[in-house]
Chain A
């Protein structure tokens, strides 16, 4: 248990020391997306019967929480390849489960922070009518859990920091643009739609929009997301065990 606490505490102490820098960097991207797509491009535009900004915000939250949760891989890579602090955790009498839980929870914390920043900007902007309830946060939690686990698994698998860019460029960036963040997936060519529909980010964007728009929820999507979260976490555990040379 203390192994989990040590892992999480380390990440939180580092976050605390860079809090204002992190907050600033978390705010820049959403502000730009809201200004460029939400206000600049989407002014007067309606999607699925809603103003574009109301379509964009849930999508932006799903993409941003995904990116922040997955970004724990950067910290882990620095700890593993540059600072070598990861060895301190490998050599300690803790289980891979404690370590994985600590890291994943730190990813979830960062995802919650980015979600709060976007909601804060939305609130300041005014005129956006979306519903935020406990279930909304639970879905953000599941999304962050999936991508923090995948971030951890990728950080444990790669052999050099440069390999991480490949994973981000080939998996995370396409998912961010195609996962129903900025436009409905139904606008995509028919042949690509079945693939896009099963992406975790598409499921999250869709579920968050349903909650935000007070629409009935498709619980099968939620079940699928929880299943994906379990698999992603098991994968992370497996890669931690494999990280021993």
Chain B
């Protein structure tokens, strides 16, 4: 098969896939280097339509780089990305209209009002003034920000600014929402409000890719989780399956100034072990296994 035929077949394949498959996003073998630092070392993953997929990893793992590439802010060195069957890198403008990006930092105009920030965004995404007004009204309602629409952004609290950032990204009806550490630096009450807000957005059919280093956040929100470490995706599964694989119950034992954790698949096994450990050690805790345990297990093995 000649080169051009191959390309044609590939194009037709991806075109058909775009129609029949339920895959919203496909990332294949993505590489990115900043100077001598290899930020991404060939990551690959897929997200289904309507799914909330979380990239979980420590700081500097490559989460933000992945999102910056997907949102068109950074160019990858190599790799392929397909958004609803179309190459994202070759159809940048199309991809940008389909994606809403919420960065980790607040990139809002502090001196402009809530409405003015939404207006600028709407015009950037080629919406009509009527559409901007209608959509702003709906989203401000959804985010409980209607009464603050005339307020300058600098007059809003951190939680309200974060909500505004999210609804701004939703203004142009994106099919894929990218959330980079959406609750970083927020207090637990506001964090929970943002979580329910994200769940409401997903319930309306939006596919969501979220990065976080809060394990609880991923456990509560994500349908599937990928652990990313030093630019590599180590494993992908549902939070429940990850926990099942490790064991449902954990026993923490403190000795020699360090905490050691043992995992058990059944309550009986755990209780038997607890009895044994309680004769040897004083500080013992029995608890449910969380995604944090899975994360620590994965990252410590990677560190070694």
Residues of A within 8 A of B (CB): 2-3, 5-6, 9-10, 13-14, 17-18, 83-85, 87-94, 244-245
Contact of B73 among A5, A10, A87 (CB under 8 A): A87
Determine if B75 is an interface residue (Cβ-Cβ < 8 Å): yes
The residue in chain A whose Cβ has the minimal distance to the Cβ of B104 is A84
Residues of B within 8 A of A (CB): 34, 71-75, 92-94, 96-97, 99, 101, 103, 105-112, 116, 119-121, 123-127
Inter-subunit contact A2/B112 (CB<8 Å): no
Sample of 29 A–B contacts (CB below 8 Å)? A3-B123, A3-B126, A5-B123, A6-B123, A6-B124, A9-B119, A10-B120, A13-B116, A13-B120, A14-B111, A17-B112, A83-B107, A83-B108, A83-B109, A84-B107, A85-B107, A88-B120, A88-B124, A89-B124, A90-B73, A91-B71, A91-B101, A92-B124, A92-B125, A93-B96, A93-B97, A93-B124, A93-B126, A244-B75
CB distance from A128 to the nearest CB of B (A): 37
Inter-subunit contact B111/A85 (CB<8 Å): no
Note all chain A residues with C-beta closer than 8 A to B92. 93
CB distance from B133 to the nearest CB of A (A): 15
* Alpha-carbon separation in the docked complex, A54 to B106 (Å): 50
The residue in chain B whose Cβ has the minimal distance to the Cβ of A82 is B110
* Alpha-carbon separation in the docked complex, A204 to B72 (Å): 40
* Alpha-carbon separation in the docked complex, A14 to B116 (Å): 10
Inter-subunit contact B111/A91 (CB<8 Å): no
Note all chain A residues with C-beta closer than 8 A to B126. 2-3, 93
New A-B pairs, 19, CB < 8 Å, besides A87-B73, A92-B125: A6-B121, A10-B120, A14-B109, A14-B111, A17-B111, A83-B108, A84-B103, A85-B108, A85-B109, A87-B103, A88-B107, A89-B124, A91-B71, A91-B96, A91-B99, A92-B121, A93-B125, A244-B73, A245-B73
Inter-subunit contact B74/A245 (CB<8 Å): yes
CB distance from A20 to the nearest CB of B (A): 14
Note all chain B residues with C-beta closer than 8 A to A2. 123-124, 126-127
Note all chain B residues with C-beta closer than 8 A to A91. 71-73, 96, 99, 101
* Alpha-carbon separation in the docked complex, A179 to B72 (Å): 42
Note all chain A residues with C-beta closer than 8 A to B121. 6, 88, 92
CB distance from B66 to the nearest CB of A (A): 14
CB distance from B27 to the nearest CB of A (A): 18
Report whether over half of chain A's contact residues are helix, strand or loop; otherwise say mixed. helix
The residue in chain A whose Cβ has the minimal distance to the Cβ of B72 is A91
* Alpha-carbon separation in the docked complex, A35 to B188 (Å): 60
CB distance from B176 to the nearest CB of A (A): 13
Inter-subunit contact A13/B112 (CB<8 Å): yes
Contacts A2-B126, A244-B73 given; does A92 touch B96 at CB 8 Å: yes
Note all chain A residues with C-beta closer than 8 A to B101. 91
Note all chain A residues with C-beta closer than 8 A to B96. 91-93
Report whether over half of chain B's contact residues are helix, strand or loop; otherwise say mixed. loop
Contact of A10 among B106, B107, B109 (CB under 8 A): B109
Note all chain B residues with C-beta closer than 8 A to A14. 109, 111-112
Note all chain B residues with C-beta closer than 8 A to A90. 72-73
For the complex of A and B, 5 pairs with smallest distance between CB atoms = A6-B123, A92-B124, A84-B107, A93-B96, A6-B124
Q: Which among B34, B73, B94, B120 has the greatest number of chain A C-beta atoms within 10 A? A: B120
Note all chain A residues with C-beta closer than 8 A to B105. 84
* Alpha-carbon separation in the docked complex, A244 to B73 (Å): 6
Contacts A84-B105, A91-B72, A244-B75 given; does A9 touch B120 at CB 8 Å: yes
* Alpha-carbon separation in the docked complex, A90 to B96 (Å): 10
The residue in chain B whose Cβ has the minimal distance to the Cβ of A14 is B111
Contact of A83 among B75, B110, B119 (CB under 8 A): B110
Note all chain B residues with C-beta closer than 8 A to A92. 96, 121, 124-125
Inter-subunit contact B93/A93 (CB<8 Å): yes
Contacts A83-B107, A93-B97 given; does A3 touch B72 at CB 8 Å: no
CB distance from A187 to the nearest CB of B (A): 45
* Alpha-carbon separation in the docked complex, A93 to B72 (Å): 9
The residue in chain B whose Cβ has the minimal distance to the Cβ of A89 is B124
Note all chain A residues with C-beta closer than 8 A to B110. 83
The residue in chain A whose Cβ has the minimal distance to the Cβ of B106 is A84
Q: Which among A83, A85, A92, A94 has the greatest number of chain B C-beta atoms within 10 A? A: A92
Inter-subunit contact B125/A244 (CB<8 Å): no
CB distance from A11 to the nearest CB of B (A): 10
* Alpha-carbon separation in the docked complex, A91 to B49 (Å): 22
Note all chain A residues with C-beta closer than 8 A to B116. 13
* Alpha-carbon separation in the docked complex, A3 to B96 (Å): 13
Note all chain A residues with C-beta closer than 8 A to B73. 87, 90-91, 244-245
Note all chain A residues with C-beta closer than 8 A to B103. 84, 87
The residue in chain B whose Cβ has the minimal distance to the Cβ of A94 is B124
* Alpha-carbon separation in the docked complex, A2 to B121 (Å): 10
* Alpha-carbon separation in the docked complex, A92 to B97 (Å): 7
